[in-house]
Amino acid sequence: MEEITIENEKTTEKFITNIIFGQKLINDLSIDKKKTVNIDYFLNHIKNFNKQKDNEWSKKINYEKYSAMIIDKMEDKLVDDSDVVVKNSYHIEPYCKKNVKIMTPLAIYKKTGFHYKLVKLESEEYDLFSMIYYNNQIIGYVACGKKVKNSYKNLYVVLCKKYDKMFYDKSKKKLAIMNEIVENISFYEKEIYNRYLRSFRSFLNSIVYEIISENKMIKNLVCIGEEEGGNLLQLFVQDFIVNLGDYNVKIEEMNIYTMMYNSAMSSTETYYKDFLGLYGKNSVITCFSEKNRAYDTWEEDLHSEYNVILL
């Protein structure tokens, strides 16, 4: 087995930042839960953190002090021996789904600079399992809400990713038929679809698969995403249900919710109808802070059917 070490100064700093940020995040979540819990409640904490980072918050951390606390050898805590590959049933390109490679704990650590088996971050109401990175920036997190001691009821995946500046300025969007996740999924945003495959698919499937496999009491998977984050999580949910349902994860016994905030309609009605038919009317909820360009992508006669809500 490969020996696990903190490879360089940047990795050490990332690890320390994750620990400090993660503990602050779940502490704040626990305190604020006593006030109110809604979609803003989960999204605002990651937004506030990123504002602090923009104000050179990370420069206030004494990395030299914390580096002395980092364990140099971690081979007893993380393993790199997983060979789980979720294979598709098609074999002729390009008509087949892409295999899902489940990342090992070591691979997850190398990608994010954190793994919950190294440091368990706990608070009164939540335990943190991972941060979600994109372009070396934290844009989300994975946490579990506590039901009773040593067990969890809810698993939360929160992703805040804004649309790029040109998102609404492009020419009329064309529907693309794609096969990598499920057979013939229709999706308007090919760039987002490809970004999901390239940057998010393996990680999100791996960390959620690992958590649910080890915590059989989890009953609710709650995905909360802002703007593009909502579209990415829409893809993840469908991907996870279709491709990992038979791999030690009893999907049929779980409630699965996708909550999108200021997210444009990114797929055809067929996706939403099928999803609501499987998981109930409240399984997809789309919220908007105001009538904006994302709101306008949802035809008004669909609002009540697909839980399009103006806050």
In tens, the pLDDT along 237-289 reads: 988 888 876 565 666 678 888 989 899 998 888 788 888 887 887 888 888 88
For residue 240, which of 113, 115, 298, 155 has the smallest C-alpha distance? 155
Q: Is the pLDDT of residue 41 over 50?
A: yes
Q: Per-residue pLDDT averaged across 91-96, rounded?
A: 52
Neighbours of 57 (CB within 10 A): 15
For residue 236, which of 217, 260, 219 has the smallest C-alpha distance? 260
Give the Cα separation of 242 and 88 in Å (integer): 10
Tell me the pLDDT band of 3, cut-offs 50, 70 and 90: very low
Q: What is the pLDDT of residues 191-242, one digit of tens each?
A: 899 999 999 999 999 999 899 988 888 889 999 999 999 999 999 998 888 8
How high is the pLDDT of residue 203?
Answer: 95
How high is the pLDDT of residue 55?
Answer: 52
How high is the pLDDT of residue 87?
Answer: 53
Tell me the pLDDT band of 5, cut-offs 50, 70 and 90: very low
Tell me the pLDDT band of 4, cut-offs 50, 70 and 90: very low
Tell me the pLDDT band of 119, cut-offs 50, 70 and 90: confident
- End-to-end, the C-alpha distance of the chain in Å comes to 52
Q: What is the pLDDT of residues 54-87, one digit of tens each?
A: 555 556 666 666 665 555 545 456 766 555 555 5
Q: Is the pLDDT of residue 7 over 60?
A: no
Q: Is the pLDDT of residue 88 over 60?
A: no
Q: What percent of the chain has pLDDT over 70?
A: 71
How high is the pLDDT of residue 130?
Answer: 93
Best CATH choice for the domain 9-310 from the list 3.30.980, 2.40.30, 3.40.50, 2.60.120: 3.40.50
Give the Cα separation of 196 and 228 in Å (integer): 10
How high is the pLDDT of residue 250?
Answer: 67
* Higher pLDDT pick, 52 / 18: 18
Residues 6+ apart with CB under 8 A from 282: 257, 307
Q: Per-residue pLDDT averaged across 182-186, rounded?
A: 77
Give the Cα separation of 8 and 211 in Å (integer): 28
Give the Cα separation of 14 and 152 in Å (integer): 27
Q: What is the pLDDT of residues 140-167, one digit of tens each?
A: 899 998 877 678 989 999 998 999 888 8
* Higher pLDDT pick, 233 / 23: 233
Q: Structure pTM?
A: 0.85
Q: Per-residue pLDDT averaged across 125-133, rounded?
A: 90
Q: Where are the domains of the chain?
A: 9-310
Give the Cα separation of 273 and 11 in Å (integer): 44
Tell me the pLDDT band of 172, cut-offs 50, 70 and 90: low
